[in-house]
Amino acid sequence: MRRILFWVLLLSLLSACQQPLKQIHVGTTPFFGEAAFYVAQTEGFFEEHGLEVTSHPHSAGKESLKKLYSGEIDIAHTAELPLVYAVNGSPEYKGEMRPKISANMIYNSDMQKIIARRDKGIEIPSDLKNKKIGYFKGTTSEFFLDTFLLEHSIPDTGVEKQNINVAKQLDALKSGKVDAVVSWEPHASKILSEMDEHTHELDTKIDHSTLWLVVTSDTYISDHPENIRAYLQALRKAQIWIKEHPGQTQTLLANKTNASKKIMAHLWNTIDYELSISERMLLLLEDQQRWLKEKGYAKSSNTTTNFENLIYFRAIEEVYPEGITIIR
């Protein structure tokens, strides 16, 4: 009887091991927010949870989100503003889809930077008046720039804004196409390092949190809820690994984002790697939606999205319920 039971268990184990991996296509960005993804990918955590994950790198989260809307990928990693634009009718996001947030992966309040050329006479924020500023429209840098100008009483009409992909901002600043840029890490530190004494970061008191959301479609969740659960399980295991191996994670991130280890070490303690669905996340999304409507960027100023309705709770409830701090 024991021998029969042994063979039954062995065959069950072998059968489970032979199950084909479930394929998931994920839109990513060479950004510090991807730490858990890179670790899960490198350490084999996705495979441990039955997934074969293919990364589709983009220059920013908004590009990943566009691919999600067009049905080319299953999951998009993105900051909050692209999602706010998408659910408020931005024509950039084509396709009939209802997005769902499965989790947030990071919090950071020192990711966005405004970098200016000294030789353009920009030493303090007020010197930006009548200057050309590069930013990547539809990303968090747009909201950050608007808040920064408001902080220093500089009207929109007092500067010339130019929409420049974050990956091309260094060249734009070097060539003189713009006098300053709104960038995020690691791009910001690369610009400061490469242009050295010719540029500097402008001071701000803005405490702007950057999120990095796991977004998918309601259809995908309905069809593959087990994949989302397994995906979060792999990310959670990676985040535990990150806390236990900070040095190795910094080296991995430096390689993946083409940033120096010095930059990584400098920023490390400002980044909170934790799966979450929080009240703070909701407040940020709601705040940016109000801003979008006030600027007249929303398709309809009369319709307001309830972001709590866009959250898919079940997976994180099963994987890491401690990460949920929303008042329900």
User: If you count DSSP H runs as helices and E runs as strands, how many of each does the chain have, helices first?
Assistant: 14, 11
The secondary structure of 221-271 as a DSSP string is HHH-HHHHHHHHHHHHHHHHHHHH-HHHHHHHHHHHHT--HHHHHHHGGGE
Residue finishing a domain among 181, 201, 221: 201
Do 73 and 99 share a domain, yes or no? yes
- The pLDDT of 142-155, averaged and rounded, is 92
CA 128 – CA 134 distance, rounded (Å)? 12
Residue finishing a domain among 158, 180, 201: 201
CA 236 – CA 98 distance, rounded (Å)? 25
- The pLDDT of 15-34, averaged and rounded, is 86
CA 6 – CA 133 distance, rounded (Å)? 69
Do 186 and 269 share a domain, yes or no? no
Asked if pLDDT for residue 39 goes beyond 70, the answer is yes
Q: How many domains, in total, are found in the chain?
A: 2
Tell me whether residue 4 is in a domain: no
The band of 120, judged by pLDDT with boundaries at 50, 70 and 90, is: very high
Q: Going by C-beta distance under 8 Å and a sequence separation of 6 or more, which residues neighbour residue 134?
A: 162, 163, 164, 169, 172, 173, 177, 178, 180, 181, 182
Other Cβ atoms less than 10 A from the Cβ of 148: the count is 22
Domain of residue 38 covers 23-109+210-323
Residue 241 maps to which CATH number? 3.40.190.10
Asked if pLDDT for residue 205 goes beyond 80, the answer is no
The whole-chain average pLDDT of the chain stands at 91
The band of 3, judged by pLDDT with boundaries at 50, 70 and 90, is: low
**What pTM was computed for the model?**
0.88
Please list the residues that pair with 183 across neighbouring strands.
Answer: 113
Give 208-262 pLDDT, tens digit per residue. 788 999 999 999 999 999 999 999 999 999 999 999 999 999 999 999 998 888 8
Asked if pLDDT for residue 11 goes beyond 80, the answer is no
Give 267-288 pLDDT, tens digit per residue. 888 899 999 999 999 999 999 9
CB 170 within 8 A of CB 117: no
Residue finishing a domain among 166, 201, 236: 201
Do 103 and 55 share a domain, yes or no? yes
pLDDT at site 18: 61
